[in-house]
Homo-oligomer: A and B are copies of this chain.
Amino acid sequence: RINEKRLWDTLMEMGDIGGTEKGGCNRLAGTDLDKQSRDLFVSWCEACGCDVEVDKIGNIFARRPGKYNDLPAVGTGSHLDTQPTGGKFDGVFGVLSGVEVLRTLHDNNIETPTAMEFSVWTNEEGSRFQPAMQGSGTYVGRFDLETELNKTDVNGIRLGDELKRIGYLGDMELGSRNMGAFFEAHIEQGPTLEDEKKAIGIVRLGQGIRWYNIEVIGRPSHSGTTPMHLRKDAMLAAAAIVTEMNAIALRHENGLGTVGFMQVWPNSRNTIPGNVKFSADLRNPRPDILLTMHKELIAFCEKIAKEHNLDVNIDPFWYFAPVEFNASDDVKAATEKLGYSHMDIYAGAGHDACYMADLVPTGMIFTPCLNGISHNEAEYSSPEECAAGANVLLHTMLEASER
């Protein structure tokens, strides 16, 4: 069994890096705070005798040798970056459950059959740079390395430059780790486990995600002198699309639709906006429904462009197809062995494990979080809830290493 208090203490220590007044965390990818959190992870792994390497997109891998080091290792990991209004658990819990597994093995001098790998993935959140799961997606070959390193934040700063600046632009080849299975522990981020009073969620599926950049190009003009019928109001057209995103979601079972990001130009209160750029995020566990939602959004944007006599450009730059986790039964076996209550569940958020499933048998372990709230400073998971997840991770990894 892992050490509940130690796990909790590492969560709190890590949470102080970028910690907010309201008890949350603001630690965007590629920032100085990201560097601090990575440094802390590396120091903890090195203290347990791990070899640490960094790949070309900044993912960190710490390896604890086993008995048969030519055999593929069993891996775990998640991310340390957070949302601007993030909590102390999203991603971090997965990374530190790994560290806790590592410490448990180390302190008990356990020699595992295979090596064990503990990883931190770059920019999982997709908040500062897009898309989400950028480090894992690039590692598995879904994204082109150069393209991703050249991605910029809203201020035009390149991811590659930030990784270099904080000392985490490595030279290890992508996809080159000798890994045979991957397991990720994560808070659920939704209300299901709490509602159903289950300690562990056996994640069967990661739902589909479609991300868009939408740009409405109208015509800036005076708010006091431009008659309503002569306007090309980019804000008004954008508002119609925001409203439709909600309607699309409500029309489809399990549909979600969100506009989280918006930039208005020239953003002057007596100038009718000439240009509004915003994001759109559509999700559904079923790819066919998600495709229908996608088509509805595209058609609506065309309709709005005509009705408002302006241009609407929509760039569907990221499609993440639903993924099934084929090592879920390993997670279930460990959960049952440990006697925790559990249920099957699907992941609403994307996770690094979703991309790792491209390469190796993969499973995810969910734990409850208070009121199902995440991407919010109030995000919370109790010490016991965290400990349960870390214990399941430990035993899932041990089992996989035995085989």
List the B side residues contacting A250 at CB < 8 Å: 228
Contacts of A283 in B (CB 8 A): 223-224
Q: Which residues of B contact A326 (CB under 8 A)?
A: none
Give how many copies assemble into the complex.
2
Given known contacts A222-B375, A235-B259, is B270 in contact with A125 (CB within 8 Å)?
A: yes
Interface residues as binary, A215-239 with B (CB distance below 8 Å gives 1, 0 otherwise): 0000111111111101001011011
Task: Write out the residue numbers on chain B whose beta carbons fall within 8 Å of the beta carbon of A226.
Answer: 190, 256, 348, 372-373
A246 at the interface (CB under 8 A from B): yes
Say which one of A4-12, A168-176, A273-281, A327-335 lies at the interface with B. A273-281
Q: Is there an interface contact between B256 and A262, defined as CB atoms closer than 8 Å?
A: no
Which one, A66-74, A126-134, A356-364, is touching chain B?
Answer: A126-134
Given A268-B260, A272-B258, A372-B230, A235:B242 Cβ within 8 A: yes
Whether a CB of chain B sits under 8 angstroms from the CB of A403 is no
**A178 CB within 8 Å of chain B:** no
SS class of chain A's interface: helix, strand, loop or mixed? Answer: loop
Say yes or no: is A97 at the interface (Cβ < 8 Å to chain B).
no
- Chain B residues, Cβ within 8 Å of A387: none
| A374 and chain B: residue at smallest CB distance | B222
- Contact size range, A: 35 or more
Q: Return chain B residues, CB-CB under 8 Å to A188.
A: 225
Q: Are A261 and B268 in contact (CB-based, < 8 A)?
A: yes
A281 vs B8: C-alpha distance when bound (angstroms): 51
Q: Is A83 an interface residue (CB 8 A)?
A: yes
Q: Could you say which residues of chain B place their CB within 8 Å of the CB of A235?
A: 242, 258-260, 262
* A372-B273 Cα distance, complex, nearest whole Å: 17
Q: CB of A289 within 8 A of chain B?
A: no
A198 to chain B, nearest CB (A): 16
Q: Which residues of B contact A349 (CB under 8 A)?
A: 222, 224-225, 270
Chain A positions 193 through 221: 1 when the CB is less than 8 Å from some CB of chain B, otherwise 0? 00000000000000101010000000111
Contacts of A299 in B (CB 8 A): none
Check B272–A260 contact: CB distance below 8 A: yes
CB under 8 Å from chain B, chain A span 137-174: none
Residue on B with the closest CB to A274?
Answer: B85
Contacts of A391 in B (CB 8 A): none
Instruction: A348 to B270: give the CA distance in the assembly, Å.
Output: 11
Q: Name the CB-closest residue of B to A281.
A: B223
Q: Decide if B262 touches A189 in the complex (CB within 8 Å).
A: no
Given A85-B220, A222-B348, A250-B228, A132–B236 Cβ distance below 8 Å? no
Flag whether A350 is at the interface (Cβ < 8 A). yes
A17 interface residue (CB < 8 Å to B): no
19 residue pairs A–B, Cβ–Cβ below 8 Å: A83-B271, A84-B266, A85-B220, A126-B269, A127-B270, A127-B271, A132-B270, A189-B224, A220-B376, A221-B373, A224-B349, A228-B256, A238-B242, A239-B239, A239-B240, A258-B269, A259-B273, A260-B268, A261-B269
